[in-house]
């Protein structure tokens, strides 16, 4: 079962190569935070260069999760801080710029 609350959310500031999978991202976490950090329950957030995709690496009691979200339109905004709360992560994944905390305007093309 995916834990819905994160104790800690760490954001990598440098864009990564999105061909990396669980092992490649785990090595990045190991190099940045230490050998056991990946299994601490912390959510690690990675962005690609174009900022239109995000990957989240997390560990629950039984194994690793690798979550991917790709935006069809628009871009994520890179947070200025490296550690977020779970609420901030939820806003970030919904497309809210954490600097101004408002939803981006969406142009409606058709109703049905």
Confidence (pTM): 0.81
Instruction: Give me the helices (H) in 16-68, please.
Output: 22-33
Residue appearing with tokens 């690793």: 64
pLDDT value at residue 94: 86
Q: What is the pLDDT of residues 38-47, one digit of tens each?
A: 888 899 999 9
Helix or strand (DSSP H, E) at 71: none
pLDDT at 68 over 60: yes
Helix and strand totals (H; E) in the chain = 2, 5
Cα distances (Å, whole numbers) of residue 5 to 14, 18, 41, 106: 25, 25, 10, 28
């Amino acid at each position: 079962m995916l834990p819905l609350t994160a104790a800690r959310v760490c954001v990598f500031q440098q864009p990564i190569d999105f061909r990396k999978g669980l092992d490649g991202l785990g090595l990045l976490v190991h190099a940045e935070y230490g050998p056991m950090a990946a299994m601490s329950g912390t959510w690690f957030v990675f962005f690609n260069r174009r900022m239109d995709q995000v990957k989240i690496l997390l560990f629950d009691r039984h194994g690793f999760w690798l979550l991917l979200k790709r935006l069809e339109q628009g871009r994520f905004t890179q947070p200025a801080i490296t550690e977020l709360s779970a609420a901030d992560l939820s806003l970030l994944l919904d497309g809210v710029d954490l600097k101004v905390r408002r939803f981006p305007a969406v142009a409606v093309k058709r109703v049905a």
